[in-house]
């Protein structure tokens, strides 16, 4: 595939393309093969922050206009039963202790775009107590607000029934549920909520309980087990022991400051796709998405505009566990 890009890197399952994803997807004829073929677009685009970051981000009305323009591009790429998953943080009004509505306006702009037949399937919340206190001016300096410790994850699709199977992402049963299954009895009947609990409705072992739309990056309560799907949140951005961060330290490289959680990516890849399906990330950073897709035997295409982060993606893929390094294609 010949693409208007300075560099292309291949692995066994996928391709990392250097360049502006939106410009390439709109203008490069060779990428037209992707249209209608992508089973999952999963990404964490630059957040609408008030301060410019190294990884690039627009602000205010410019951000909303930029974000809304993604809708028809993504809609055209998705297969009819494909899904779009976007992680985005909260925004605050400049120099005011007031939360902005910008992220909500962006969501509405995307799902109501006249040239994109999209709708919000479900919202997830990703809670991370290790996030630094922000917005710092109003949390740690003036102490007027609490720590902004979560991000939104929006699951969007072209129709009401995108491919999905929650039995692939079951979480472990609670200890009380394990005991119930062992004794094969419980108090059935009508509850104060007026729900009628059948005699055998909870006696079948399904291998785990259905996942929630709230993810704890770390335990809210240290005395309570965090019951996450087995494939989910196996590592967090604060985990200093994984291969990627260890190698970055050894090479004196500062890792991408806004990496998407690998566990979060694992969850949605397994929940919304099958092996051999195509996963795309238009703003891949150090390419956590491609790494997770490779491990889970999915095809993938990622884009990244900054050479520094592509170097980090190559480090990520040099993980000996993966056995699928990124290799630069010959011109």
Residue 242 contacts residue 259 (beta carbons within 8 Å): no
**pTM, rounded to two decimals:** 0.88
Nearest by Cα to 153 from 86, 94, 216: 86
Calculate mean pLDDT across residues 305-330.
Answer: 92
Domain ranges within the chain, ordered by starting residue: 8-186+198-317
Calculate mean pLDDT across residues 239-268.
Answer: 84
- Cβ neighbours of residue 182 under 8 Å, at least 6 residues apart? none
Q: Would you place residue 53 in the very low, low, confident or very high pLDDT band (cuts 50, 70, 90)?
A: very low
Domain 8-186+198-317 homologous superfamily, CATH: Vaccinia Virus protein VP39 (3.40.50.150)
What is the pLDDT at residue 255? 84
* CA dist list (Å): 10 to 157, 262, 294, 302, 329: 28, 20, 11, 10, 7
Calculate mean pLDDT across residues 231-259.
Answer: 72
Calculate mean pLDDT across residues 183-191.
Answer: 75
Sheet strands (E) in 12-56: 14-18, 38-43
**DSSP code of residue 138:** I
What is the pLDDT at residue 221? 58
The answer to whether residue 55 scores a pLDDT higher than 50 is no
Nearest by Cα to 60 from 112, 113, 114, 103: 103
What is the pLDDT at residue 238? 43
Q: Would you place residue 241 in the very low, low, confident or very high pLDDT band (cuts 50, 70, 90)?
A: low
Token digits of residue 275 = 């092996």
Q: Would you place residue 223 in the very low, low, confident or very high pLDDT band (cuts 50, 70, 90)?
A: low
Calculate mean pLDDT across residues 258-266.
Answer: 87
Calculate mean pLDDT across residues 59-83.
Answer: 92
């Amino acid at each position: 595939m010949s693409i208007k890009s300075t560099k292309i890197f291949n692995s066994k399952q996928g391709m990392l393309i250097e360049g502006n994803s939106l410009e390439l997807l709109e203008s490069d004829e060779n990428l037209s093969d992707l249209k209608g073929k992508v089973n999952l677009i999963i990404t964490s685009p630059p957040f609408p922050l008030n301060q410019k970051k190294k990884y690039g981000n627009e602000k205010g009305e410019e951000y909303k206009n930029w974000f809304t323009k993604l809708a028809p591009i993504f809609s055209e790429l998705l297969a009819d039963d494909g899904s779009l998953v976007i992680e985005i943080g909260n925004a605050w009004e400049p120099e005011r202790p007031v939360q902005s509505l910008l992220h909500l306006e962006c969501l509405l702009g995307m799902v109501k775009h006249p040239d994109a037949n999209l709708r919000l399937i479900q919202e997830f919340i990703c809670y991370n107590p290790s996030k630094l206190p922000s917005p710092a001016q109003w949390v740690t300096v003036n102490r007027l607000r609490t720590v902004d410790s979560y991000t939104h994850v929006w699951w969007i699709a072209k129709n009401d029934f995108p491919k999905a199977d929650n039995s692939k992402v079951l979480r472990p049963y609670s200890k009380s549920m394990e005991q119930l299954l062992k004794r094969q009895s419980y108090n059935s009947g009508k509850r104060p909520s007026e729900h009628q609990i059948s005699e055998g409705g909870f006696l079948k072992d399904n291998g785990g309980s259905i996942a929630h739309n709230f993810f704890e990056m770390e335990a809210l309560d240290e005395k309570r087990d965090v019951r996450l799907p087995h494939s989910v949140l196996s590592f967090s951005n604060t985990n200093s022991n994984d291969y990627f961060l260890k190698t970055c330290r050894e090479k004196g490289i500062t890792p991408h400051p806004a990496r998407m959680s690998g566990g979060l990516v694992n969850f949605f890849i397994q929940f919304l796709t099958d092996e051999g399906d195509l996963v795309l990330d238009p703003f891949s950073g150090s390419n956590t998405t491609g790494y997770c897709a490779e491990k889970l035997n999915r095809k993938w295409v990622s884009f990244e505009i900054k050479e520094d982060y592509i170097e980090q993606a190559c480090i990520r893929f040099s993980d000996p566990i993966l056995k699928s390094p990124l290799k630069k294609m010959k011109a």
